[in-house]
Amino acid sequence: MQLRKVTAASAAVLALALSATACGGGKSDDGASGGKKITIGIKFDQPGLGQKTPQGYAGFDVDVATYVAKKLGYSPDQIEWKESKSADRETMLKRGDVDFIAATYSITPEREKLVDFAGPYLLAHQDVLLRSNDNSIKSPADLNKKKLCSVTGSTSAQNIKDKLAPKAQLQNYPTYSACLTGLQNKALDALTTDDSILAGYAAQPQFKGKFKLGGFKMTNENYGIGVKKGSPLKAKINKALEEMVSDKSWQKAVDKNFGPAQYKNEPAPKIGDVKS
């Protein structure tokens, strides 16, 4: 009889311990100020926006996400960063792999059917990156018969080829870094994707003064912070983004990450104002 009492008591203690661990170590239901950490998705391979470096994580998206996390009640050492590749973002949010994603995540009607977006927090545009001493390309039409590069699977180069410069010689490279090498050694004439991404690459110390943006603003790309459909985090993140703009932290992050490329950014967009 005594043995059964001890066993029952032990089971109760074990259950209580497990319950406490689950409550204390996990994330809160609303993703804010309730757990020991917050998990945020970013890009790991985009200089100026989201990049994993030997010193840690850096870029505009990282700075925005860190600011938002602080407003939600989390210090930098409570952030767990997860790589969010473009094709994986909706799945990661649906599965709960991350609390939110800040990874050059353009707000589109198709994506809004699957996830919710806070923001936008940056209005970018499709543009081209050119060699700084190349004055032959002054408009998208000048890309005709030029060697134009983008990353395999990207729609950016195809947009130009289909709509703006149908005679452009489209080259698909595996990475933006490979495109940059080709642009630098004159195997290519231009690289195209979002201007914010291009500015991030051009701002790298090894490329200082070697490249320039065309400034063509061919599309509007409204970067938002993705959250799970129906998440109460959306409203909280929107409030944090408004505060980031009002206390000048947003502009400081822009200058820090894009300034070396002389990126002429748009003013901070208003929450909910998605430019088509």
Domain boundaries, the chain: 38-124+222-261, 126-213
pTM above 0.85, yes or no: no
Tell me which residue of 202, 213, 198, 215 sits closest to 260, measured CA to CA: 202
Query: Residues 95-139: pLDDT tens digits?
Result: 999 999 999 999 999 999 999 999 999 999 999 999 999 999 999
Least confident range from 19-23, 179-183, 245-249, 270-274: namely 19-23
Q: Is the fold of 38-124+222-261 the same as that of 126-213?
A: yes
Q: Which two tokens stand for residue 271?
A: 């929450």
pLDDT of 156 reads 86
| 8 A C-beta contact, residue 218 and residue 190 | no
Res. 229: pLDDT tops 50: yes
- At residue 144 the predicted structure's pLDDT band, cuts being 50, 70 and 90, is very high
Report the distance separating Cα 89 and Cα 58, nearest Å.
19
**38-124+222-261, which class in CATH?**
alpha beta
The dihedral over CA atoms of 263, 62, 94, 27, expressed in degrees to the nearest 10, equals -160
Res. 84: pLDDT tops 90: yes
CATH code of the domain made up of 126-213 = 3.40.190.10
Report the distance separating Cα 63 and Cα 47, nearest Å.
13
pLDDT of 23 reads 36
Q: Which DSSP category does 82 fall into?
A: E
- At residue 159 the predicted structure's pLDDT band, cuts being 50, 70 and 90, is confident
Report the distance separating Cα 267 and Cα 275, nearest Å.
13
pLDDT of 153 reads 66
Q: Which two tokens stand for residue 276?
A: 């088509």
Report the distance separating Cα 86 and Cα 227, nearest Å.
15
Count of residues for the chain?
276
Query: Residues 172-207: pLDDT tens digits?
Result: 888 888 899 999 999 999 999 999 999 988 888 888
Res. 154: pLDDT tops 90: no
Least confident range from 13-27, 40-54, 67-81, 220-234: namely 13-27
- Triad 13, 16, 20: Cα angle to 5°: 140
Q: Which two tokens stand for residue 42?
A: 């970013």
pLDDT of 203 reads 84
Long-range Cβ contacts of 166-170 (<8 Å, 24+ apart): 168/143, 168/144, 169/145
Query: Residues 4-63: pLDDT tens digits?
Result: 444 444 444 334 343 333 333 344 445 555 569 999 999 998 999 999 999 999 999 999
| 8 A C-beta contact, residue 269 and residue 241 | no
pLDDT of 188 reads 97
Strands 79-83 and 38-42: parallel
